[in-house]
A and B are shown apart, each in its own frame.
Chain A
Amino acid sequence: MTDYDALVVGSGIAGMESALKLGDMGYKVLLVEKEASVGGRMILLSKVFPTLDCASCISTPKMAASIHHPNVTALTYTEVDGIARDGDGTFKATIRHKPRFVDEAACTGCQLCETACTVAVPDQFNADMVARRAAYIAFPQAVPKKAVLERAGTSPCTYTCPAGIKAHGYVSLIRSGEYEKAFQLVLDATPLVGTLGRACYAPCEAECTRGSLEGTLPIRRLKRFAADRHYAAADGPGVEVPRPNGKRVAVVGSGPAGLTAAWQLARLGYGVKILEAAPVAGGFLRLAIPGYRLPPEVVEQDISNVTAIGVEIATSSPVTDLPALKSDGFDAILVATGTQLSTDLGVPGEKLDGVVGGLQFLRGTKLGTGADLAGKKVVVVGGGNVAMDAARTAVRLGAAQTTVAYRRGRTELPAHKTEVDDAERDGVTFTFQVAPVDVVGDSAGHVTGLRCQRMALGRPDASGRRRPEPIEGSEFVVACETVLVAIGMAPEGAAFGGSIAVNANGTLVADARSLQTAVPYVFAAGDVTTGASDITRAVGQGRRAAHMIDRWLRGETLDGEPSPGDGFEMDDQLPLVDKPSVLGRQKAYGRGGALIEAAPPAARDFAEIEAPLTEAEARAAAGDCLDCGVCSECNECVAACPSDAIHLDMRESVEEVSVGAVVVATGYKLFTADAKPEYGFGRYKNVITGMQMDRLLAPTRPFNTVLRPGDGKVPERIAYILCTGSRDEAPGPDGRGGVNNPLCSRFCCMYSIKQNQLVMGALPLAEVTVHYMDIRAPGKRYDEFYEGAKAMGATYVKGRIAKVTEKPDGNLILRYEDIEHGGALVEAEYDMVVLAIGVQPNREVERLFGGDDAIELNDYHYVAERNEDIDPGRTNIPGVFVAGTASGAKDITDSILHAGAAVAQVAAHLESRKVPA
């Protein structure tokens, strides 16, 4: 017993005909179509020859019947990955359901998602003559008329963001001029939009695919652009204040992790109070990062997002007793206190006056209680980002000389390269491969210098960096009055009196995934658990903490392995898109926007030094986005859909079905016209293919009428070149290659004649000339159809076109030998040229069958029939049949007839298996 009597692969006219006829006979049929609609190519045609009946009018009833037939199960946007023959003569087919990301039952086909979508891609259903959207309905007569979201994976910028910000989404929104929506998309992840627009180290830009071409997009600065636009115009975050859910959460610490967690929790309806030990909120954002990188007013704007939705922030409120906080009525507590302590140098003289921890130095500067460095020599020990901030701040405080002393080499510096470059630009000098031995002081206890020892770099250590090893006898003293120690940071893990377990490095012990500590109501996130990281990672930790606290307070488990769709993980992303595939989509690259110089000038004060992008720069930069994942996850379709039909969490599924017989109806490929370079397709914009002309003539055409793609002109003189890619064994223009296809494509003459008539009907003043080798019109009433075109005024000129050239005005010169008039070489000028392209075998059929059951192809790589004259449709594999153009070029009429033959073969096969042996 099989699941289906027959599997039909492909739903073009032959596939639909096969499925419907088998269904009518009472067989259970599975019809599988890889595109989002049944119908194949016929539905895309203007009319059919020789009757000039509307192709849609003929196709759509069959399409609807294919979907609704009681014995036919039609699966669209589904592929057959393989077919294997069982020992009993039946088949097992592996069916892969590609995710539409749209609930077919809920989708009404309203196209609002398509209208809202911010990503434009070539419309393959309009022969690439116009754009469609990443969210799309295949074509107006699609059956089923359901939307699809084209998603190739998660774009690298989004995938790599530790904060879970949909970078591709906000870039595409800015490209569309939707700046506030871009701001809101970032705001969905964190309230710190302006902050991250300035102080994030932008791992997204390191992964930007455009970066491997002409240079990365300025993704971080685009975020800043959106934030600046919002804050310049709006009062408040512009989000609805949620209804309180009656539960309270205390957040200890107001750095990026705490603020982000508070924001997320408050948006879920929790009453949130942030307790901050410092006199100002913001943690490192306010007390460490210098204002020239992150102006304090930007941090205040970001923090105001949090307070605007009801989060209470208590400053100068250190917390040491977590159980007491619980007793105060908080249902959960998040500890996000960061890394407050500077690691000591551990050398003699460290207590001398003039030795200051890097963090304490930066904090003092921000609070106005910092050291006076005017005219002093300063040595900064360390090579991380805090060291760079300390050094650049010292320069701005008037230090006469600022030197960074680092024990490894330049390439091992842990600070981000931009920070190092900017520090050098500011006048900071670097001394590499030196380590402090002791701080030298005078009798009054003031620093006078730092004794250092030179280091050699040995083998890599556990961090992968080469281990610095002291060189004996290499000591020297660097004269200075101030030593800023920035060699590391550590959390004050012991601050909670032992209520939370602490690791050896001072970080709190918490589950890496749930962020829950051993005390169930206490969670910990950010640098206090991970050790020093960066703002963006802390934001990501804050988001995760909020998600997990919400789960815990709703009674959901925090244990066990997450499974798809269980909501355990926050960002249920598709896999990272394959970058080579992205780059392979295009033959050439060339960004429209100019590269934006990111390096700011050297500065000597605390004013912000990085210039904002202008609107024109932002739009142009966003326009360079390659849309790696295709869908940008901007969520505009989700917001626009009135049926809540968009589900970005849909995933591919695979099933195996058993079938009694298989009909291969996989159709053909169109000849790629640029393989005849002498005709100029792809280079000359007014050279199009016959399929493109059919789209221009169809009721659902991409243009308002037949127009030149090069400039929109209504063409007056149109030439057809027949046999483009057919009956062509001549070498290419360079003497090599060539089309190498001796076969006639069977229907190019006739569709050209059809188009001749339709063009002359649509454009009564147009002159149509057909350049042909010979006209093949063998079918019923075909020749009369040909004569009718001539009678309407179409001119037919015998002789193969040697070459097409383009004039500056877009007109085209055809050069040919006029065979019927003495063989003279003639040049004729046209507005537009149509290449009557032929067909090629669809070799995808080969991957359906493997091993010993490989399907046999003929000499031209079409599916071979055992005897196409007396046994049509039967292949080399018992139980596998072929219908339509998969076995060779056929017009629609012949494809339907051939499908009928294949259906009869299938029926005979299935019935023969019922006969007792």
Chain B
Amino acid sequence: MNAPNTAPNRDLREIIREEPLMRSRILEVLSDGPHTVPEIAEALGRPAHEAMYWVMGLRRYGWIREVKEVTPEGYFRYQAVEKETRP
């Protein structure tokens, strides 16, 4: 469940710039239901800390939101916001 943090650190700007690029891919991952950040990262094949930036960016701008309950492992799951209420 825990995504390793052993991937080389890319510069913050390189990661953040990719948020618009990752939007559709993350929404596709979430199309089958809510997922945690490590699960999303695994589906994208990218490090969890990079997925964290993208997930929180999408959350900030209303594309996704968290499910209230935390998993037994201590993670929130995130789900896509209904299309009609997206930006």
A547 within 8 A of B: no
On whether A122 and B16 interact (CB within 8 A), knowing A714-B75, A716-B74, A808-B5, the answer reads yes
Q: How far is the CB of A769 from chain B (nearest CB, A)?
A: 18
**Which residues of chain B are near A620, meaning CB under 8 Å?**
21
A175 within 8 A of B: yes
**Which residues of chain B are near A682, meaning CB under 8 Å?**
9
B57 touches A712 (CB 8 A): no
Encoded as 1 (CB less than 8 Å from any B CB) or 0, chain A from 557 to 586 comes to: 000000000000000000000000000011
What residue in chain A is nearest B46 (Cβ atoms)? A592
B74 touches A685 (CB 8 A): no
Within 8 A of A (CB), among B62-76: 62, 66, 70, 73-76
B2 touches A704 (CB 8 A): no
A586, A684, A710: the one within 8 Å of B14 (CB): A586
Encoded as 1 (CB less than 8 Å from any A CB) or 0, chain B from 6 to 20 comes to: 101111111011111
B interface bracket (residues with beta carbon within 8 Å of A): 35 or more
Encoded as 1 (CB less than 8 Å from any B CB) or 0, chain A from 578 to 621 comes to: 00000001111111100000000000000000000000000110
Encoded as 1 (CB less than 8 Å from any A CB) or 0, chain B from 29 to 44 comes to: 0000000111001000
In the assembly, what is the distance between CA of A587 and CA of B8, in Å? 13
B14, B20, B56: the one within 8 Å of A118 (CB): B20
A153 within 8 A of B: no
**Which residues of chain A are near B60, meaning CB under 8 Å?**
130-131, 702
A810 within 8 A of B: yes
B20 touches A713 (CB 8 A): no
On whether A810 and B21 interact (CB within 8 A), knowing A590-B11, A685-B49, A712-B38, the answer reads no
B17 touches A625 (CB 8 A): yes
**Which residues of chain A are near B21, meaning CB under 8 Å?**
175-176, 592, 619-620, 622-623
What residue in chain B is nearest A702 (Cβ atoms)? B56
What residue in chain B is nearest A683 (Cβ atoms)? B9
Q: How far is the CB of A326 from chain B (nearest CB, A)?
A: 51
A130 touches B9 (CB 8 A): no
B55 within 8 A of A: yes
A641 within 8 A of B: no
A655 within 8 A of B: no
A711 touches B23 (CB 8 A): no
What residue in chain A is nearest B21 (Cβ atoms)? A623
B14 touches A592 (CB 8 A): yes
In the assembly, what is the distance between CA of A589 and CA of B70, in Å? 35
B52 touches A714 (CB 8 A): no
In the assembly, what is the distance between CA of A776 and CA of B10, in Å? 38
What residue in chain B is nearest A619 (Cβ atoms)? B21
In the assembly, what is the distance between CA of A623 and CA of B16, in Å? 10
**Which residues of chain A are near B48, meaning CB under 8 Å?**
710-712, 810
In the assembly, what is the distance between CA of A916 and CA of B32, in Å? 82
> Using a Cβ cutoff of 8 Å, how many contacts connect chains A and B?
135
A711 touches B38 (CB 8 A): yes
Encoded as 1 (CB less than 8 Å from any B CB) or 0, chain A from 112 to 125 comes to: 00111011111000
B17 touches A623 (CB 8 A): yes
Q: How far is the CB of A38 from chain B (nearest CB, A)?
A: 23
B16, B73, B87: the one within 8 Å of A120 (CB): B16
**Which residues of chain B are near A588, meaning CB under 8 Å?**
9-11, 14
On whether A585 and B4 interact (CB within 8 A), knowing A619-B21, A622-B21, the answer reads no
Q: How far is the CB of A674 from chain B (nearest CB, A)?
A: 11
A714 touches B17 (CB 8 A): no
Within 8 A of B (CB), among A83-132: 114-116, 118-122, 128-131
A177 within 8 A of B: yes
Q: How far is the CB of A703 from chain B (nearest CB, A)?
A: 6
In the assembly, what is the distance between CA of A115 and CA of B87, in Å? 7
On whether A130 and B75 interact (CB within 8 A), knowing A115-B62, A592-B18, A712-B37, the answer reads no
In the assembly, what is the distance between CA of A121 and CA of B74, in Å? 29
In the assembly, what is the distance between CA of A590 and CA of B12, in Å? 11
In the assembly, what is the distance between CA of A536 and CA of B28, in Å? 38
A161 within 8 A of B: no
A585 touches B9 (CB 8 A): no
Q: How far is the CB of B86 from chain A (nearest CB, A)?
A: 10
Encoded as 1 (CB less than 8 Å from any B CB) or 0, chain A from 223 to 253 comes to: 0000000000000000000000000000000
In the assembly, what is the distance between CA of A133 and CA of B61, in Å? 10
On whether A709 and B20 interact (CB within 8 A), knowing A704-B76, A714-B76, the answer reads no
What residue in chain A is nearest B36 (Cβ atoms)? A712
**Which residues of chain B are near A714, meaning CB under 8 Å?**
70, 74-76
**Which residues of chain B are near A686, meaning CB under 8 Å?**
5
Q: How far is the CB of B8 from chain A (nearest CB, A)?
A: 8
A711 touches B52 (CB 8 A): yes
On whether A586 and B13 interact (CB within 8 A), knowing A619-B21, A710-B48, the answer reads yes
In the assembly, what is the distance between CA of A622 and CA of B23, in Å? 14
A130 touches B53 (CB 8 A): yes
A116, A683, A713: the one within 8 Å of B75 (CB): A713
A176 touches B37 (CB 8 A): no
A120 touches B20 (CB 8 A): yes
**Which residues of chain B are near A119, meaning CB under 8 Å?**
17, 20
Within 8 A of B (CB), among A611-665: 619-620, 622-623, 625-627
Encoded as 1 (CB less than 8 Å from any B CB) or 0, chain A from 708 to 724 comes to: 01111110100000000
B87 touches A712 (CB 8 A): no
B76 touches A589 (CB 8 A): no
A79 within 8 A of B: no
In the assembly, what is the distance between CA of A118 and CA of B17, in Å? 9
Within 8 A of B (CB), among A676-719: 682-686, 702-705, 707, 709-714, 716
Q: List 18 additional contacts besides A713-B74, A809-B2; criterion CB under 8 Å.
A: A116-B87, A121-B13, A588-B10, A589-B14, A592-B21, A619-B21, A623-B21, A626-B17, A685-B52, A704-B59, A709-B49, A711-B37, A711-B38, A711-B49, A712-B38, A712-B76, A810-B2, A810-B48
Closest 8 CB pairs of A and B: A712-B37, A623-B21, A711-B48, A176-B20, A131-B57, A685-B49, A586-B11, A809-B2
A interface residue numbers (CB < 8 A to B): 114-116, 118-122, 128-131, 133, 172, 175-177, 585-592, 619-620, 622-623, 625-627, 682-686, 702-705, 707, 709-714, 716, 806, 808-810
Subset of 14 A-B contacts with CB under 8 Å: A120-B19, A121-B16, A131-B16, A585-B13, A587-B11, A626-B17, A684-B5, A703-B59, A707-B52, A709-B52, A710-B52, A809-B2, A809-B4, A810-B2
